[in-house]
Structure 1
Amino acid sequence: MRGLYEDRPARAKGLSALPSNSKRVAIIGIMAAFTVLLSISLCLSRVSGSPASSLSQGSCNTVDEGYQCFSGVSHLWGQYSPYFSVDDQSASLSETIPDQCQITFAQVLSRHGARYPTEKKSKKYAKLIKDIQRNATSFPGKFAFLKSYNYSLGADDLTTFGENQLVDSGVKFYQRYESLAGHIVPFVRASGSDRVIASGEKFIEGFQKAKLGDGHNQPAPIVNVVISEDEGFNNTLDHSLCTSFENSEVEDKAEDKFMDVFTPSLIKRLEENLPGVTFSKKEAIYLMDMCSYDTVALTSDGHRISPFCSLFSHDEWVQYDYLQSLKKYYGYGAGNPLGPAQGIGFANELIARLSQSPVRDHTSTNRTLDSNPATFPLNATLYADFTHDNTMLSVFFALGLYNSTEPLSQTTAQTTEETGGYSAAWAVPFGARAYFEMMQCSGEKEPLVRVLVNDRVIPLQGCDADKHGRCKRDDFIKGLSFVRSGGNWGECFA
Structure 2
Amino acid sequence: MLNLSLLASGLVLASLASANSKAYPKFGEKQFSQTFHDGYNLLKYMSSLAPYSDRVSYGVDRNTPAGCEVDQAFLLMRHGERYPDAAMFGDDYTKVLSKMKASNVSTWAGDLAFMNEWTYYVEDESMYSQESTTGPYAGLLDAFSRGSEYRLRYGHLWDGKSVVPIFTSGYERVIETARYFGQGFFGYNYSTNAAINIIPEAATQGADSLTPSCAADTNYDTCYIERFFATLPPLHVAAARFNKQNPGLNLTASDVLELMQMAAFELNVRAYTPWADAFTSDEWVSYGYIFDLAYYYCFGPGSEYQIATGQVFANATRVLMESGPKKSGSMFWSFAHDANITPVVAALGIDIPDSHLPSDTVQFPSTYRAADIVPMGGHLTLERITCNATAVSKAGVFVRAVVNEAVVPWTSCQSGPGYSCPLAQYSTMIDKTPKFNEKCGTNASYPQYLDFFWNYNTTTEYNYQKGPIGYQLTDTDV
What TM-score, normalized to structure 2? 0.74
Q: Which residue of 2 aligns with 1:382?
A: 331
Q: Which residue of 1 aligns with 2:452?
A: none
- Work out whether residues 398 and 482 of structure 1, in 8 Å CA contact, stay in contact via their aligned partners in 2: no
2:427 corresponds to 1:460: no
What SS does the aligned partner of 2:205 have?
Answer: coil
Question: What is the Cα deviation at residue 231 of structure 1?
Answer: 4.8
Q: Structure 1 residues 194 and 478 mapped into 2: Cα distance closer, same or farther (>3 Å)?
A: same
Q: Please point out which of 275, 278, 283 is paired with 1:308.
A: 275
- Work out whether residues 185 and 382 of structure 1, in 8 Å CA contact, stay in contact via their aligned partners in 2: no
Q: Which residue of 2 aligns with 1:180?
A: 157
Q: Which residue of 1 aligns with 2:92?
A: 124
1:96-151 Cα distance to aligned partner (Å, 9 max, x none): 21111011100111000001111211111111111111125351144234356443
Q: Which residue of 2 aligns with 1:112?
A: 79
- Looking at structure 1, the residues matched to 399 and 36 of structure 2 have their Cα atoms a distance apart, in angstroms, of 37
Q: Please point out which of 201, 213, 237 is paired with 1:229.
A: 201
Q: Which residue of 2 aligns with 1:438?
A: 384
Q: Which residue of 2 aligns with 1:166?
A: 143
What SS does the aligned partner of 2:186 have?
Answer: helix
- The answer to which of 121-130 and 228-237 deviates more is 228-237
- The answer to which of 427-436 and 232-241 deviates more is 232-241
- Work out whether residues 44 and 371 of structure 2, in 8 Å CA contact, stay in contact via their aligned partners in 1: yes
- Work out whether residues 436 and 449 of structure 1, in 8 Å CA contact, stay in contact via their aligned partners in 2: yes
Q: Please point out which of 415, 428, 442 is paired with 1:478.
A: 428
2:24 corresponds to 1:74: no
Q: Which residue of 1 aligns with 2:211?
A: 238
Matches within 5 A, 1:256-295: 256-258=229-231, 260-295=232-267
Gaps of 5+ in 2: 1-34, 444-478
- Looking at structure 2, the residues matched to 251 and 329 of structure 1 have their Cα atoms a distance apart, in angstroms, of 11
Q: Structure 1 residues 220 and 400 mapped into 2: Cα distance closer, same or farther (>3 Å)?
A: farther
What SS does the aligned partner of 1:341 have?
Answer: helix
Q: Which residue of 2 aligns with 1:140?
A: 109
2:335 corresponds to 1:403: no
Q: Which residue of 2 aligns with 1:61?
A: none
- Work out whether residues 216 and 305 of structure 2, in 8 Å CA contact, stay in contact via their aligned partners in 1: no
- Looking at structure 2, the residues matched to 244 and 476 of structure 1 have their Cα atoms a distance apart, in angstroms, of 27
Matched residue type, 2:46 = W
What SS does the aligned partner of 1:324 have?
Answer: helix
Q: Which residue of 2 aligns with 1:155?
A: 128
What SS does the aligned partner of 1:407 have?
Answer: coil
What SS does the aligned partner of 2:76 have?
Answer: strand
- Looking at structure 2, the residues matched to 262 and 356 of structure 1 have their Cα atoms a distance apart, in angstroms, of 51
1:181-201 Cα distance to aligned partner (Å, 9 max, x none): 464654310000000000000
- Work out whether residues 110 and 242 of structure 2, in 8 Å CA contact, stay in contact via their aligned partners in 1: no
- Work out whether residues 305 and 440 of structure 2, in 8 Å CA contact, stay in contact via their aligned partners in 1: no
What SS does the aligned partner of 1:386 have?
Answer: strand
2:327 corresponds to 1:352: no
Question: What is the Cα deviation at residue 425 of structure 1?
Answer: 1.0
Question: What is the Cα deviation at residue 461 of structure 1?
Answer: 4.8
Question: What is the Cα deviation at residue 270 of structure 1?
Answer: 2.7
2:65 corresponds to 1:98: yes
Q: Which residue of 2 aligns with 1:19?
A: none
- Work out whether residues 380 and 403 of structure 2, in 8 Å CA contact, stay in contact via their aligned partners in 1: yes
Matched residue type, 1:453 = V
Question: What is the Cα deviation at residue 485 of structure 1?
Answer: 3.8
What SS does the aligned partner of 1:347 have?
Answer: helix
- Work out whether residues 82 and 430 of structure 1, in 8 Å CA contact, stay in contact via their aligned partners in 2: yes
- Work out whether residues 92 and 458 of structure 1, in 8 Å CA contact, stay in contact via their aligned partners in 2: no
What SS does the aligned partner of 2:60 have?
Answer: coil
- Looking at structure 2, the residues matched to 316 and 378 of structure 1 have their Cα atoms a distance apart, in angstroms, of 52
Question: What is the Cα deviation at residue 179 of structure 1?
Answer: 2.3
Q: Structure 1 residues 378 and 284 mapped into 2: Cα distance closer, same or farther (>3 Å)?
A: farther
What SS does the aligned partner of 2:201 have?
Answer: coil
Q: Structure 1 residues 94 and 415 mapped into 2: Cα distance closer, same or farther (>3 Å)?
A: farther
Question: What is the Cα deviation at residue 257 of structure 1?
Answer: 4.8
- Work out whether residues 307 and 343 of structure 2, in 8 Å CA contact, stay in contact via their aligned partners in 1: yes
Q: Structure 1 residues 342 and 145 mapped into 2: Cα distance closer, same or farther (>3 Å)?
A: same
Matched residue type, 1:397 = A
Gaps of 5+ in 1: 1-37, 41-67, 299-303, 358-376
- Work out whether residues 51 and 377 of structure 2, in 8 Å CA contact, stay in contact via their aligned partners in 1: yes
Q: Which residue of 1 aligns with 2:461?
A: none
Matched residue type, 1:458 = V
Q: Please point out which of 183, 203, 214 is paired with 2:181.
A: 203
Q: Structure 1 residues 247 and 72 mapped into 2: Cα distance closer, same or farther (>3 Å)?
A: closer
Q: Which residue of 2 aligns with 1:29?
A: none
- Aligned residue pairs, count: 392
CA RMSD of aligned residues (A): 3.0
- Looking at structure 1, the residues matched to 227 and 233 of structure 2 have their Cα atoms a distance apart, in angstroms, of 11
Question: What is the Cα deviation at residue 224 of structure 1?
Answer: 3.2
Matched residue type, 1:439 = I
Q: Which residue of 1 aligns with 2:228?
A: 255
Question: What is the Cα deviation at residue 474 of structure 1?
Answer: 1.8
- Percent of counterpart pairs with the same letter? 23
Q: Structure 1 residues 248 and 201 mapped into 2: Cα distance closer, same or farther (>3 Å)?
A: closer
1:199-222 Cα distance to aligned partner (Å, 9 max, x none): 00000111123xx6xxxx686543
Q: Structure 1 residues 125 and 424 mapped into 2: Cα distance closer, same or farther (>3 Å)?
A: same
